Amino acid sequence: MKTRLFLPFILFLLLLTGTPFASAQFETPVIKEWVVKETNDNGEVEEVEYMSLDGVLVHETDPALAPQPPVVQPGAVTGMPPSDAIVLFNGKNTDGWSADDGSPSQWIVKDGALQPVEDSGVIRTVQEFGSCQLHVEWATPATVEGDGQGRGNSGVFLMGQYEIQILDSYDNTTYPDGQAGALYGRSAPLVNACRKPGEWQSYDIIFHRPVFDASGNVVKRATFTILHNGVLIQDHLELSGGTLWKSKHSVVPYEAHGDKGPITLQDHGNPVSFRNIWVRELAD
């Protein structure tokens, strides 16, 4: 009698607590968050949020703790659109794009390439996409200015929020989770396949969107496989949360959103050029 009652009792308890059925369990990476009181430039003490992924601080700069990805010399740029692709930029105009608020974008087309101008803000596709294959070609300014995050910074955002960093990472050291090909603050590229400043480079991105339950919990994380100039730099990476800035060593967690969102290009104050942008929609 006792054993016959035991199993229903356990099932009842599980139903009450809601585990392990209520939401997907993700064990890696181990995410830790804490707050440090720091004095800012104005001499005020403020609370700054810190985060680590598997024991490594977000935006860690110490190479002993976050090694610089090995440098790889890429092969030729590939990537003309296949017959079933939706061409997002054809080298002629900004049709199909807008500013973030839906107003006409200020970005310009120069020599067949799309470029931000001062204070133009991001540019986004009017059409929205979920899971997709995306090809983007980009070039950082031929004349090198600035260093670290200030040199040729832009970014490609899937669903308007998951950033694959664009940066002139050719002979330019920064925190690995913020260099070219990083999922910003979440995952450094496997290798550094960056071309020289001014040279055209490509990203081929295979993205599967995250899925949320009715309570807003992520039940399926976003995944990214990315080739940079034909070289694998993210290998079916399961994104552990959002990539948007939260504080200098912290990024935002997942926040529930719809099934589709825009593809967005960042204006980070550097005249990074874009060309040959196309997308193919994928099943989730």
Q: Among 68-76, 140-148, 158-166, 239-247, which window interacts with Mg ion (CB under 5 A)?
A: 158-166
Q: With contacts defined by CB under 5 A, name the span among 48-56, 85-93, 117-125, 263-271 that binds Mg ion.
A: 263-271
155 is a site residue for Mg ion (CB under 5 A): yes
For Mg ion, give the closer residue by CB, 174 or 202: 174
Minimum CB–partner distance for residue 12 and Mg ion (Å): 50
Cβ 266 to Mg ion shortest distance, Å: 5
Does position 271 bind Mg ion by CB under 5 A? no
Nearer to Mg ion, 34 or 245 (CB): 245
Question: Which CB sits closer to Mg ion, 125 or 266?
Answer: 266
How many residues line the site for Mg ion (CB under 5 A)? 4
The amino acid sitting at 40 is N
Which listed range, 46-54, 74-82, 165-173, 213-221, lies at the site for Mg ion (CB under 5 A)?
165-173
* DSSP codes joined into one string, the chain: -HHHHHHHHHHHHHHHHTTTTSS----SSPEEEEEEEEE-TTS-EEEEEEEEETTEETT---TTTSPPPPB--------PPPTT-EEEE-SS--TTEE-TTSSPP--EEETTEEE--TT---EEESS-BSSEEEEEEEE--SS--S-GGGSS-EEEEETTTEEEEE---TT----GGGSTT-BTTTB--SSB----TTS-EEEEEEEE--EE-TTS-EEE--EEEEEETTEEEEEEEE--S--SEEETBEE-------S-B--EE---SS--EEEEEEEEE---
- CB closest to Mg ion, residue no: 155
Measured from the CB atom, is 166 or 218 closer to Mg ion? 166
Q: Which is nearer to Mg ion, 74 or 181 (CB)?
A: 181
| 252, two tokens | 């935002």
Piece in contact with Mg ion (CB under 5 A), picked from 18-26, 81-89, 132-140, 163-171? 163-171
Q: Which of 193, 191, 165, 190 has its CA nearest to residue 179?
A: 165
Decide whether 51 or 265 has the Cβ nearer to Mg ion.
265
Give, as ranges, the residues between 125 and 154 that touch Mg ion (CB under 5 A): 153
Query: Site mask, Mg ion, residues 65-104, x = CB under 5 A?
Result: ----------------------------------------
Contact footprint for Mg ion (CB under 5 A): 153, 155, 165, 266
